[in-house]
Amino acid sequence: MAPFRLDSILIIDPKSEHTLVQLGLNDETFMIPDYKIPSCIYKDTITEKYVSSADESNPNLKTIYPIVDGEIKDLDAFLQLLKLIYGSVLADRSKNNPNAFDLELSNIPLMLLTHHSWSQYQLEMIAQFVFEKLKINNLMFLPLSIATAYAMISLQNCCVIDIGKNRTDIIPIVDYTAMNHLTSSLSIGGNFINDTLQKKYLTNLSMEQIECLKKSNIFEVLTDDVMNKRDRDDLNGENQGRNDDVINIADIVTSGRDTREILEERERSKKEKNVSNAELEYNYFWDTKGNNIKIGKQRFQGCEELIKTISRRVGITLGQISDPTKLKAVWDNIVIIGGTSAIVGFKEALLNRLIEDHLITEPENEIEQREEAEKDPAATTGTNKKKAAKAFHNMIAATVQSIDYVQTPTSIRLAKYAEYFPEWKKYGYAEIQFLGGQVVAKQVFTHSRDVYYVTRENYDRSGPSCIWDVEF
C-alpha cells in the first residue's frame, strides 16, 4: 500500500474531561495538538438523540461524559463523541482551506490512543463503528502507555505512572510491551490533593479556588534539593544583605499605616525582584472570579500522602517483574504523566520518595569492611589475599541472601525527555503520550507496509476481530 500523506493523518486521544485531536502532521517537527475538545456530548432524554452542543431552550438535554477515570462507561455516547469530533475537525479544516480535501475522506487514517481498561468488546465495537459508520478505511489502536514510551525516545523498558483526577495507573513496559497483567490502579489522583488542602490547610477556600491555586505557578512541591539550595544560599550570603529582608518596626509604627498592608507590599516587592516562590512567606494567585488571593506556606502542602501512596504501589507493581535485567531498566526509566505531573517539583518529589522507599544501598558497616580490606597491604599477596577475597565474597553472598534481590533496585531515575521538540518543551510534558502518538503515526502511516494497522481489506475479510491480528 502506498504511504499516506502527512496532512491526512488523524490522531485522537480521548480522556475523561477533554480530548486531544490533530489532523495532519508537520514534515519537520512535532507540534502540540491542534484541538482540545471537551469529552462530553449531549443527549435528548425524550428523543434519545445526541446533539453536539448544549441548548438552554431544551430542558431535556443531558450532559454525558462517556469516559470516567479513563474507562469507557457509556460506549454508545463515546461512539457518538468520535463521530462529532471527526465531523467537526473535517468541517473546520474545509472551512479554513477549501482545497484541503482534494483526496477522498476515506483516505484519512485514524490513530486512536486507548486506555488499558478498555475491554475487548469495546475495542471491537469501536472498530466496527469507525469502518461501518464513519467509513474510515484505516485504523490503528495505540495504548496510551506505549505512546508515552515512544515519546521518551522509544524506551524499551520503563514504568509509566499516569496520574488522573481520581485514578492513578502504574503500567510497566518490558521490551516495548505494556504489561497489562501487571498493571495496577489506585482510586486516588490529583483531586486527592484538593481534598487534603481543603481539609487540613485551606479550609477557608472553596474547591474551585483550590483548583485555581493548584494550577497556578505558585503551587509547588518543595523537594529537599530546593530546600538545601536555599539553605546553601543563606550560608553563602546570597540571600543576605537585602534591605527588604529587614523589618524596621519603628518605621512601621511611625508610618501610621496598617501593618498587614505594609507586609503585603514587602512580599509583592520581593516577587518583583525575582525572588523565588520558595523564598516568599506569602504569594498570590487569581481565582476564576478575578479575586487576588494571598496564600502562605500552605501552597507547598497537600501532595505528601498522594506521593507516599503512589510510591508504595509502584514498589508492589514492579516487584512482580521477575527478570532482574529488565527490572533494573524499568526502575531507571520512570515516566510520570497526567495533569498532576505539571505541578512544579512533583515529579522530583515522587522520585525522591521512590528512592527513599525502594532503593537498596550497601550498608555502612559493609562499606567500611570492604574499604579496610582494600587498604590492608597484607591482603594483596599470597594467603592473606585469598582470605580477604573469600571474606569479601562471603559478605556479599550473605547480603544478597538477606534480601529479595530480584525485587530491589540499586538505582532509580526519571526517564529523560526528548527536548529537541521546542513546541512541546514550552507546552509541557503532562500529555506527552500525544507526542508519542505523533511519532508512531508518522512511522506507521508513511510506511509502505500495512501490518501495524487495520485496513479496509482486513476488516471486510475478518470483521471487528481483525484488530487482534496487527503486529504492533
> Do 84 and 130 belong to one domain?
yes
State what percent of residues in the chain have pLDDT above 70: 78
- What pLDDT is attached to residue 274? 74
- What pLDDT is attached to residue 243? 45
Q: Give me the sign of the Cα torsion angle 176, 177, 179, 185.
A: positive
Q: Are 140 and 111 in contact (CB under 8 A)?
A: yes
> Do 108 and 147 belong to one domain?
yes
> Do 91 and 121 belong to one domain?
yes
Lowest-confidence segment of 101-105, 352-356, 368-372 by average pLDDT: 101-105
> Do 76 and 125 belong to one domain?
yes
**Does residue 104 lie in a domain region?**
yes
**Interacting residues of 159 by C-beta distance below 8 A, sequence separation 6+:** 170, 171, 172, 173, 314, 317, 318, 330, 331, 333, 334, 335
CA 253 centroid distance within chain: 51
The three cell numbers locating residue 34? 491542534
> Do 12 and 45 belong to one domain?
yes
Residue 222 — pLDDT band, cuts 50, 70, 90? very high
Q: Kindly state the average pLDDT of the residues 434-439.
A: 96
> Do 432 and 461 belong to one domain?
yes
pLDDT tens digits for 375-400?
A: 665 554 555 555 555 555 555 555 44
> Do 423 and 376 belong to one domain?
no
One-letter identity of residue 163: I
Residue 242 — pLDDT band, cuts 50, 70, 90? very low
> Do 390 and 433 belong to one domain?
no
Q: Kindly state the average pLDDT of the residues 413-418.
A: 93
> Do 393 and 424 belong to one domain?
no
Tell me the sheet residues that pair with 141: 112
- DSSP-derived letter for residue 244 is G
pLDDT tens digits for 24-70?
A: 998 888 999 999 999 999 999 999 999 888 877 888 899 999 999 99
User: Which secondary structure element, helix H or strand E, spans residue 454, and what is its range?
Assistant: strand 454-455
Q: Which residue would you say has higher pLDDT here, 266 or 3?
A: 3
Which runs of E-coded beta strand occur in 296-389? 334-337
Q: Is the pLDDT of residue 231 over 90?
A: no
**Does residue 219 lie in a domain region?**
no
> Do 398 and 430 belong to one domain?
no
- What pLDDT is attached to residue 378? 56
Q: Kindly state the average pLDDT of the residues 150-171.
A: 96
Q: Are 337 and 429 in contact (CB under 8 A)?
A: yes
Adjacency order of strands within the sheet including 10-14: 35-38, 18-23, 10-14, 110-114, 138-143, 454-455
The three cell numbers locating residue 97? 482551506
The three cell numbers locating residue 33? 495538538
Q: Kindly state the average pLDDT of the residues 403-423.
A: 80
**Does residue 249 lie in a domain region?**
no
**Does residue 136 lie in a domain region?**
yes
Lowest-confidence segment of 27-36, 226-235, 269-278 by average pLDDT: 226-235
> Do 383 and 446 belong to one domain?
no
How many structural domains are present in the chain? 2
Q: Is 153 left (phi over 0), alpha (psi -120 to 50) or beta?
A: left
State what percent of residues in the chain have pLDDT above 90: 64
> Do 27 and 93 belong to one domain?
yes
Domain that holds residue 39: 6-153+419-468
**Does residue 196 lie in a domain region?**
no
Q: Kindly state the average pLDDT of the residues 227-244.
A: 54
User: What is the number of helices (H) and of strands (E) in the chain?
Assistant: 16, 18
Q: Which of residues 346, 376, 402 is at a domain's end?
A: 402
**Does residue 313 lie in a domain region?**
no
Q: What is the CATH number of the domain that holds 77?
A: 3.30.420.40
Lowest-confidence segment of 31-45, 100-114, 303-317, 351-365 by average pLDDT: 100-114
How far apart are the C-alpha atoms of 232 and 289, rounded to whole Å?
40
Residue 258 — pLDDT band, cuts 50, 70, 90? confident
Q: Kindly state the average pLDDT of the residues 208-212.
A: 97
Q: Kindly state the average pLDDT of the residues 88-115.
A: 76
How far apart are the C-alpha atoms of 405 and 108, rounded to whole Å?
50
- What pLDDT is attached to residue 390? 57
**Does residue 257 lie in a domain region?**
no
One-letter identity of residue 75: L
How far apart are the C-alpha atoms of 12 and 89, rounded to whole Å?
11
